[in-house]
Structure 1
Amino acid sequence: MFIEAKPLQGQYVKLELLTTAHIEPLAAAVSDGESWRLWYASVPTPASMAHYVEQAMVAAQTGNIAYAVRDNCSGDIVGTTRFYDVQAAHKRACIGYTWYADRVRRSAINTESKLLLLNHLFTSSGAIAVEFRTHYFNHTSRQAIERLGAKLDGILRSHQIMGDGSLRDTAVYSIVAAEWPAVRNNLQARLHAYTRS
């Protein structure tokens, strides 16, 4: 596999390879808030979590690695994230399917999760680029992606049909390998700021 499927350990979070044991903790995490009600987001409902996890595990067999995010402080599973659309021949992948319990939003959790994922992709796997894709109207997600240092590549118009039948325009962002050192420094500085606060 282009990207090694292994847990990733940080100071604030541990990214655990997704298994059926995470279904109930993830259902509890997504119940902290109502992000699954947002029409422009692809967040599972508590009731659909088993199907969501099982689909992610099937995709992992082809190199699309899914993680449950554990908060090291509380010990709780607080969300999920994954590598998807992994293209070994082109040394690139997307990072997405990321969501968190409301109580950990805008905390060190997402910052360190992204640092761990990007380091694994660029440093350990030798990737040349990573992509982030989100709904054009998901302004919160777009701002979070831009805070990482990713650059907007463009908008894929009428890219997907949503569950409600509406057409999704997809905002595509990327970070290329040459940008990784600066992005890493930015993320490390943000983590340091959490440590001091």
Structure 2
Amino acid sequence: MVAKTPFPVTLTGRHIRLEPLAEKHLDDLFLAGGQDEDVWRWQAGPAPQTRDELGLKLRELLDDAAAGKYVPFAVVHLASGRAVGWTSFMDIDVSDERLEIGYTWHGRAYWRTAVNTEAKLLLLTHAFEELGMGRVQLKTDHMNLRSQAAITRLGAQREGVLRRHRRRPDGSWRDSVYFSILADEWPGVRERLGCRVA
């Protein structure tokens, strides 16, 4: 299969729906985690303190999407019908059959639930089986042990660390820990994630 460029789509699972991120999701997103310092600790920039500040972040992401840098999704919890976070395809290189899943956050009430696992299952299925990607990468701050554990539970392989990779909002430097899943590893990962979601 020749790899394809990702475009906004809707992906539906048992617990969540991923749909193209839009300004209509702002109120739900602010309620889910707009002011939560723990939710935003490892993201670029400080935690938004107001709806307008979160709206600014959302519009910046949508502008980057319009420029082809991201394909962002709202994570909609099916039982409530509310958006509880967002996630994105990014660092997309179709010629090299790779992309990254990143700029992800979920409201604290949805941590360690099926939400993140199913979001990754939907995104990975789309990336490998519909877009024909050969590699999907994920990265996180070396101090974000919760995220590293979550990525490891997905079945991704830890590849290494880029030292002094990005400046944090407080001015300190982060090392980025890289993980990946390759196309030939995907069937085993898919089976594991499917069992966890079920």
The residue correspondences of 1:87-102 to structure 2 (distance < 5 A) are: 87-102=93-108
Q: Tell me, which stretches of 5 or more residues in structure 2 are unaligned?
A: none
User: TM-score normalised to the size of structure 1?
Assistant: 0.91
In structure 1, what is the equivalent of residue 30 of structure 2? 27
Task: State whether residues 155 and 171 of structure 1, in contact with CA within 8 Å, keep that contact through their aligned partners in structure 2.
Answer: yes
- Structure 2 residue identity aligned to 1:21: K
Matched length: 191
Q: For residues 88 and 63 of structure 1, what CA distance do their matches in structure 2 show?
A: 12
Distance 2:132 2:185 in 1: 13
Change in 2 beyond 3 A, CA 1:190/1:93: same
- Counterpart of 1:84 (choices 82, 85, 90) is 90
Q: 2:61 maps to which residue?
A: 56
Who is 1:16 aligned against?
19
Pairing of 1:53-132 with structure 2 (within 5 A): 53-61=58-66, 62=68, 64-132=70-138
Q: CA deviation at 1:4?
A: 2.9
What is the root-mean-square deviation of aligned Cα atoms in Å? 1.6
In structure 2, distance between residues paired with 1:8 and 1:46:
30
Q: 1:25 to 1:131 in 2, by over 3 A?
A: same
The 1:18–1:46 alpha-carbon spacing in structure 2 relative to 1, beyond 3 Å, is farther
Check conservation: 1:12, 1:109, Cα contact below 8 A: yes
Residues 162-186 of structure 1, C-alpha deviation per residue, up to 9 Å, x if partnerless? Answer: 2211011000000010000000000
SS of the counterpart of 1:73?
coil
1:195 match: none
Which moves more between the two structures, 128-137 or 57-66? Answer: 57-66
* TM-score (norm. length: structure 2): 0.91
Equivalent AA in structure 1 for residue 21 of structure 2: L
Output the amino acid matched with 2:22: T
Q: CA offsets, 1:148-167, max 9 Å, x none?
A: 00011100000111221101
Q: How far has the Cα of 1:24 moved from its partner? A: 1.6
Partner residue of 1:2? 5
Residues 32 and 101 in structure 1, CA contact (< 8 A), matched pair in contact too = no
C-alpha distance in 2 between matches for 1:44 and 1:65: 22
Q: Distance in 1 between matches of 2:31 and 2:127?
A: 29
Q: Is the 8 A contact 1:41 1:135 kept in 2?
A: no
1:110 Cα shift? 0.9
Partner of 2:196: 190
2-structure distance, mates of 1:163, 1:127: 32
CA distance in 2 between partners of 1:57 and 1:37 (Å): 18
Q: What's the counterpart of residue 156 of structure 2?
A: 150
Give the partner amino acid of 1:52.
K
The 3-state SS of whatever aligns with 1:126 is coil
Q: Which amino acid aligns with 2:59?
A: E
Closer, same or farther: CA 51–148 of 1 in aligned 2, 3 Å: same
